[in-house]
Chain A
């Protein structure tokens, strides 16, 4: 059905009939992430779990990649007021807003529900001389430019997560070696090409279990890593995390927004979805309400922008 018709149907409904009108057709989740990657998997797991909570309507994932996510976001932004189109927003999205790589701001979407966080961590190969973050940074202070950390992307969420950690350690000259993906960055550390990798728990989980890698520090205490001290416990007062949550198009009616939040909250409690969260080693992190999620997104953009200015990547 044409989007215009859906809008017409909504507009034509009396306020009392509004609840009955939604959902009036299938729900679309626009995915601008790499197929098979963590964000794409979240979209698909959600599409699996959602239908019973959306009156049995079909929920489909629609791929629209390109322009660092801008192609999919533009599509979502163009569906103003339509509660049938959703997207999964992530830390990469807010960083791309901060760098100006994508021409959007959090206000262009309606935040609905943050779902999960994926804390950053710093891992080394088992035979590394480093045992704490302090070891790594001390070595970098002693030998500027000779200690390297591999991670996903340049001016990316990973890059800024590590930049903030480094800033808290008095800016030692650690060389950031950017890779095309988080797994590639882990291979570089595993192969001894870099001294450490900045990544997420689920990427190195099997190597930690097998003892081929160790974690120097994790941004937030992770249940699965009770022995590993967090950044804060090592004296670095910050908690950079990767996060993912659902947003809608701009101009969503407050009642519909609350309705969507309730339905999605129920969907992510589904046993199938819980199992996915466990398998992927992710933590639930829904916030008090949808507005808090919006504030969080705006703060993420602001924090990233400050860091980019401090590093001289962004002027103004």
Chain B
């Protein structure tokens, strides 16, 4: 405990505090800007950290990482465009709440859940560094395959009214992920001989295309109303009682984020979607998820912030970056002469405790910065769509380009914009396609890797207890909505064929 207090004193020194505050501001900004992410924010300050001492450099970087995970939810809630991919699940309920005129409430719930998740993830990092790092490396190809399939089974809960269209959307996502170099053989697939498609179709261009460009096109053509009613309630914050009433949801979300976040390569995007889905599963009113439920915001936001602390587990204990952002952090540490690994805790314990304390301070600064920003964002929400949407598209395209300095990404975003618009017009949900693009590579490469290691025997997937449990969960999760609707239609006598949406009163 005294080591932690020493760390806290270090983190609160003026220079270190300034680094933490600068990180918070930059992190919220990078997270909120569609196209930018915590990874881009970290890469931007990397040269700046060269000039700093190891402690402020490290603190600034963790502060950016933490704040960006909240920042992503701002645009997700305010305009329905995830500011970065871990905020994807937050759009489901967050944007729905904004459309009801409750942007302030949604942002408040997100901020409180992000803060709680950030703190819980930090606690997990402090108390479970050793055991969780050992658990993380137990994840081999078979286990990753199981996790990917489980993640994809969530599609069943995202398909909307027409399961057929939802499955078509998921398959489209799986088709898009095939484009690019095959990781296992290095052969180009579906690149049509062009170099621009070599690295595949990225997640960021897809998110920008689907949620910014396609929605803007839909707004322009009058298919969707993208602005909430202009009432005066948009800025109202949630009541404290409502926030604390979400504690079970936040605990569940943080636990899911903590566990998935500690597994290298799994990441905050998957964790937040799994958390949203799990919350829906345990809910008494699962069919209302996606219509603007507080729990639908709290779960993914707690999860993606809890991932930040958890992602430090493999990094600090093993020197293995668990995410793209952690990889940039590792680069910064290397230059500072700090080598994460099994000996870090004994050799540089003062730095590790300063880092732990820095996380706590970073979370509190994120709360302050986030709170000050809410009135601004709720004002943005009230802009007319004819002004707001072109701005969003322009900012998003610039963000997409700046990600890798590659114009091909902006073209890909435009392509996805047209695909997304066509899908919206046809009534195809967009989220399953995104899930397909995220999870497709994890499922395919690990499936092939596992079979390569087992000389072609499929029994590996059943012999690994982790993989077996995940595959069983996937089966349950995939079948549950169908079974439930079967039960409901059995109860309500002979429903009309096209009234798929059950009346809400039946469940309350």
Residues of chain A having any CB pair with chain B under 8 Å:
34-37, 40-41, 44-45, 47-48, 61-68, 70-72, 99, 101-103, 145-146, 148, 153-156, 159, 175, 177-181, 183-184, 186-188, 190-194, 202-203, 205-207, 209-210, 212, 275-276, 279-280, 313
B290 at the interface (CB under 8 A from A): no
Indicate the member of B137, B186, B187, B453 with the most A CB atoms within 10 Å.
Answer: B186
Q: Let me know if A35 and B46 touch, CB within 8 A.
A: yes
Residues of B in contact with A (beta carbons under 8 Å apart): 39, 42-43, 46-47, 50, 137-141, 181-188, 195-196, 198-199, 264-265, 314, 318-321, 324, 327-332, 334-337, 339-344, 404-406, 408-409, 445, 449, 452-453, 455
List of B residues within 8 angstroms of A188 by Cβ: 140
Q: Separation in Å of the A47 CB from the closest CB of chain B?
A: 7
Q: For residue A73, which residue of chain B has the nearest CB?
A: B195
Query: Which residues in B have their C-beta under 8 angstroms from that of A65?
Result: 199, 404-406
17 chain-A/chain-B pairs, Cβ below 8 angstroms: A36-B330, A45-B50, A45-B335, A63-B405, A64-B404, A64-B406, A65-B199, A70-B195, A70-B198, A101-B186, A146-B455, A154-B187, A178-B184, A180-B183, A187-B320, A210-B343, A313-B186
| A275 engages B140 (CB within 8 Å) | no
**Is the beta-carbon distance between A36 and B341 smaller than 8 angstroms?**
no
Closest to B191 in A: A67
Report the nearest A residue to B319, measured CB to CB.
A206
Tell me the minimal C-beta distance from A249 to chain B in angstroms. 17
Q: Tell me whether A206 and B335 are in contact in the complex, defined as CB-CB below 8 angstroms, given that A63-B405, A148-B453 are known contacts.
A: no
Q: Is B140 a contact partner of A186 (Cβ separation < 8 A)?
A: no
Most-contacted residue by chain A among B198, B314, B321, B332 (CB, 10 A): B198
The 10 closest A-B pairs by CB, nearest first: A206-B341, A36-B331, A210-B342, A36-B328, A155-B186, A191-B137, A193-B140, A154-B186, A65-B404, A35-B43
A177-B452 contact in complex given A67-B196, A212-B342, C-beta closer than 8 Å: yes
Query: In the complex, are the beta carbons of A193 and B453 less than 8 A apart?
Result: yes
Partner of B320, one of A62, A72, A186: A186
> How far apart are B325's CB and chain A's nearest CB, in angstroms?
9
**Is there an interface contact between A48 and B47, defined as CB atoms closer than 8 Å?**
yes
For A103, list chain B residues within 8 Å (CB). 195
A191 x B139 contact (CB < 8 A): yes
Nearest-neighbour CB distance to chain B for A13, whole angstroms, equals 31
If A175-B452, A187-B137, A187-B320 touch, whether A156 touches B186 (CB-CB below 8 Å) is yes
* Chain B residues near A64 (CB-CB < 8 A): 404-406
Task: Given A184-B264, A207-B342, A212-B342, verify A101-B337 contact (CB < 8 Å).
Answer: no
A47 to B48, CA, bound (A): 12
Q: Are B339 and A205 in contact (CB under 8 A)?
A: yes
Report how far A187 CA is from B455 CA in the complex, Å.
Answer: 21
A62 with B405: CB separation less than 8 A: yes
Of A67, A156, A279, the residue contacting B198 (CB under 8 A) is A67
Decide if A275 touches B42 in the complex (CB within 8 Å): no
Q: Separation in Å of the A218 CB from the closest CB of chain B?
A: 19
B46 contacts A154, C-beta separation under 8 Å: no
A41 touches B318 (CB 8 A): no
A175 nearest CB neighbor, chain B only: B452
Instruction: Verify A279–B344 contact, CB threshold 8 A.
Output: no
CB distance from A40 to the nearest CB of B (A): 7
Partner of B43, one of A36, A155, A205: A36
Q: Which of B187, B337, B340, B405 has the most chain A CB within a 10 Å cutoff?
A: B405
Contact across chains for B331 and A41 when beta carbons are under 8 A apart: yes
A308 nearest CB across to chain B (Å):
10
Is there contact, CB below 8 Å, between A36 and B42? yes
Residues of A close to B181: CB separation below 8 A: 68, 101
Contacts A35-B43, A71-B408 hold; do A207 and B341 have CB atoms under 8 A apart?
Answer: yes
Contacts of A67 in B (CB 8 A): 195-196, 198-199, 406, 408
Q: Which residues of A contact B341 (CB under 8 A)?
A: 205-207, 209-210
| A71-B408, A102-B195, A206-B340 as given contacts; A61 in contact with B335, CB under 8 Å | no
The answer to whether B335 and A41 have CB atoms under 8 Å apart is yes
Whether the Cβ atoms of A35 and B405 lie closer than 8 Å is no
Nearest chain A CB to B396 CB, angstrom units: 18
Query: Which residue of B is nearest A43, CB measured?
Result: B47
A175 to B336, CA, bound (A): 37
Known pairs A48-B50, A65-B404; A34 contacts B327 (CB<8 A): yes
Residues of B within 8 A of A181 (CB): 327
What's the nearest-Cβ distance from chain B to residue A146, in Å? 7
Contacts of A183 in B (CB 8 A): 264, 319-321, 327
Min C-beta distance of B256 to chain A, whole Å? 22
Complex CA–CA separation, A191 to B318 (angstroms): 11
B319 to chain A, nearest CB (A): 5
List residues of chain B with CB within 8 A of the CB of A280.
334-335
Min Cβ gap B182→A in Å is 7
- Chain A residues in 8 Å Cβ range of B265: 180, 184
Given contacts A71-B406, A279-B334, A279-B337, contact A153 B186 (CB under 8 A): yes
Q: Contacts A36-B332, A103-B195: A206 and B342 contacting too (C-beta < 8 A)?
A: yes
A186 and B137 CA atoms in complex are apart in Å by 10
